[in-house]
Amino acid sequence: MQKKRHPTKYLGEEYQRLVDKSLNWELKELQSASEPLCTIDGKQVIMLCANNYLNLSTHPKIVNAMIEATEKYGAGAGSDRSIAGNMTLHEELDRRLAKFKNAPASLTFQTGFMANEGVIPQLCGRGDLFVSDALNHGSIIDGVRLTHADRAIFKHKDTEDLARVMEEAEKHQPSYKHIWILTDGVFSMDGDLAPLSRIAKIAAEHGAGVYVDDAHGEGVLGDGGRGIVSHFHLNQDQVHIEMGTFSKAFGVIGGHISGNEDVRNFAYNKSRTWLLSGGVPPGVAAACIAAIDVLETEPEHVKKVWENRDYFLKAMQDLGFDTGNSETPIVPVMCGDSKKAKELAEFIWSRGIFGLPIVFPMVARDKARIRVQLCTKHTKEQLDKAIHAFEEGGKKLNLI
């Protein structure tokens, strides 16, 4: 009898193919708090690739809120919120978030990915249509894949192409019952913004819903960091579901959606990621509430992250680097080839700078880059050191 291959052998073979093509992720170990100067793999480096835009993960008010709530309520919620784990802190967080977002209602999830995976598949079914930006986040793409709805893609940020797709959808027979336009607010690989005002206008012309994933806009854009809907002076009658996450500028963990009461009630009755997962620990909920408090009372954090972003962006452009279409504290340093992006990341690492190479399939094969993410606590000295390291590496690799 012929010996059968081990069931996992092909997994190792596939991983090796990724390594051979320089497409694998190489994990580094963060051995300190997530701060601009941190310890990774035993080495003190300047962090340039954290989502912790406002450095709130170490803010004393937020840390103390987590400790106090854990001591009072315990380490875990004890159940799904849908059963016996819907704690006072969860409800308070939902209310505080809605107020912060200037929305009638909000609902928090365990992660931002789970918000997209839970809500999007329930919005449309057979006889419906999702219309999605070509560069939307993978969690949006996976959410759409979980439905039987039809799907259409419009070119990245191209509202003329979106209008064309919507006009074609109007002619579909039988007529679509529901149409939802899905878009990132800030596109996480390029740092550019969705043209949300124009998207909302096109949606209104066709009676479609608008769902925006604002994971990288919250805490950075809008009035006091309230996000992209605020940035464009829109409301819940124009952008019907605003999704976000507490794991980036808020400095904690968790996802959420905001909209009207119908959106909230529908979501917690239909989203299986919400219904079938344990409630976030009370300490996490309390920390998220404290993060909202900080954003409402300490506007200097948002102001400073933009100052650092503008300083770094200008210096890199003056050196001749291609910084893509950045409009936010996400600044891509374009390298083109995946191997070259990894080589540049290794070079700046040797100079004490941690910048993450982003390669295929996260981006197109010829669009590899180092994604730099600026934060509030970066000092001018740290930024200058990083800029100098990029200059050295860029010249060595003929990028500038």
Contact (CB, 8 A) for 201 and 232: no
Q: Is 216 tagged catalytic?
A: yes
CA distance 230 to 170: 30
Q: Is 259 exposed, middle or buried (0-12, 13-18, 19+ CB in 10 A)?
A: buried
Q: Is 230 tagged catalytic?
A: no
End-to-end Cα, the chain, rounded Å: 61
Contact (CB, 8 A) for 186 and 221: yes
Residues with Cβ within 8 Å of 258's Cβ and at least 6 positions away in sequence, in order, are 97, 98, 101, 103, 105, 106, 236, 241, 242, 244
* Catalytic position from the list 188, 247, 277, 338: 188
Which DSSP string corresponds to 64-133? HHHHHHHHHH-SS-SSBTTTT---HHHHHHHHHHHHHTT-SEEEEES-HHHHHHHHHHHH--TT-EEEEE
* Catalytic position from the list 231, 240, 248, 367: 248
* Catalytic position from the list 59, 137, 216, 301: 216
CA distance 356 to 384: 18
Residues with Cβ within 8 Å of 1's Cβ and at least 6 positions away in sequence, in order, are none
Nearest-Å Rg of the Cα atoms of the chain is 22
Q: What are the respective helix, strand and coil percentages of the chain, to the nearest 5?
A: 45, 20, 40
Q: List the catalytic residues.
A: 188, 216, 248
